[in-house]
Amino acid sequence: MDSIDLDVLKTASAWLAAGRRCELVTVIKTWGSSPRPVGATLVVRDDGQVAGSISGGCIEDDLIAQVRQNGISQSTPQLVSYGVSADEAHRFGLPCGGTITLAIEPLSPASGIDELLARLASGELLERRLDMRSGAVTLGPAAPGAVLRVEDDVLTTVHGPRWRLFIIGAGPLSRFLAQVATGMDYRVTVCDPREEYRAGFDVAGVELVHTMPDDLVLESRLDARSAVVALTHDPKLDDLALMEALKSDAFYVGAIGSRLNNAKRRERLKLFDLTDEQLARLHGPIGIYIGSKTPSEIAISILAEMTATRNGVPAAMLVPHAATPQAANGEACGLAAT
């Protein structure tokens, strides 16, 4: 499963290989309300076919109409803004006077899309620099915290797995979690030293390793764009890895299990000289309450909590996965679940 923006690049590459003309459209700035974030992309073909998304659909419709009416005649990139006036904001589905600025880049073999895809396939995190005056493109390594920017008529976009997810355990839940996470811009590593669990575990784009989990956590040098999820139910595998992860800058550290098992886990982790502040960072029971029962539903629950944490949603607004509906209602009101 590819992220939306990676699918856009692959589609653009296929269209160019087939001799079609196309334009790459990138959201570079928004004001007010906007359906898609900065960095979102769309590719539109010379017959109006599109892949990707930059709005709720209205701006796509306008771009398609323009291509069908005028074709693709631009030879250099251009900036286009939508929603400057109240009428336009209403027409293009941008509430509250929202405005969106797009970079529209005509693509050609010189645009470096194939090289970009090849380097992304090897796991690189890259910056693509587009000269808005000439259309010239260069590629180079990107820092983990790099973001889209426009400086001196050069648009720099960031491509590749900007987030890392380390999953301890190679069971069915791990498979679903890894599959969905790869579509959410995570570079996923699954770690399980147990050969019987690794056998048959094969998820496209996911690295499977057999080292001890705590060694992996230490070697990976977790940063603020890293997450660790322990799914084995085996303290011998989970606890030491969780200890190291809780000492790191990882934005999310979680472990599966009931409230009782997680209480026991916290007691064990206290023996490792973790501070109360570090222990408080452990998410467990893992995930938020959505009534999930199956591995695929629990994976969605976990990723929902990870996304909320990544986006700075206060913990008080989230209901733990293991809460009963009755307890969940209490916790949603700021009360402790029984």
Per residue in 166-194, pLDDT (tens digit) is 999 999 999 999 999 988 888 899 999 99
What's the CATH architecture for 163-312? Answer: 3-Layer(aba) Sandwich (3.40)
Whether residue 276 is predicted with pLDDT greater than 50 in this model: the reply is yes
Length of the chain: 338
pLDDT-based confidence at residue 9 (cuts at 50, 70, 90): very high
The whole-angstrom separation of Cα 218 and Cα 176 is: 25
β strands within the chain, DSSP E? 22-31, 41-45, 50-52, 78-82, 99-106, 126-131, 137-141, 149-151, 154-159, 163-168, 186-191, 207-209, 226-230, 252-255, 282-283
Contacts of 317 (CB under 8 A, 6+ apart): 308, 332
The per-type count for the chain, helices as H runs and strands as E runs, is 12, 15
Of the pLDDT bands very low, low, confident and very high (cuts 50, 70, 90), residue 198 is confident
**Confidence (pLDDT) at 328:** 40
Q: Is 146 helix (H, G, I), strand (E, B) or coil?
A: coil
> Do the Cβ atoms of 117 and 13 come closer than 8 Å?
yes
Q: What is the pLDDT of residues 286-330, one digit of tens each?
A: 999 888 889 999 999 999 999 999 988 988 788 776 555 444 443
**Distance between CA 262 and CA 233 in Å, rounded?**
10
Domain locations in the chain as residue ranges: 4-159, 163-312
Residue 6 pLDDT greater than 90, yes or no: no
Angle of helix 235-246 versus helix 259-270 axis, rounded to 10: 60
pLDDT value at 334 more than 50: no
Label residue 163 by pLDDT band (50, 70, 90).
Answer: confident
User: Who wins on pLDDT, 320 or 163?
Assistant: 163
Backbone angles phi, psi at 108, to 5 degrees: -155, 175
As a whole-number percent, the residues of the chain with pLDDT over 90 amount to 58
- Give the Cα-Cα-Cα angle 108, 109, 111 (nearest 5 degrees): 70
Q: How confident is the model at residue 37 (pLDDT cuts 50, 70, 90)?
A: confident
Residues 87-115 have pLDDT tens digits of: 665 566 555 556 889 999 999 999 999 99
Q: What percent of the chain has pLDDT over 70?
A: 87
Omega of the bond prior to 213 within 30 degrees of 0, cis? no
- Quote the pLDDT of residue 253: 97
Would the pTM of this model clear 0.85, i.e. be above it?
no
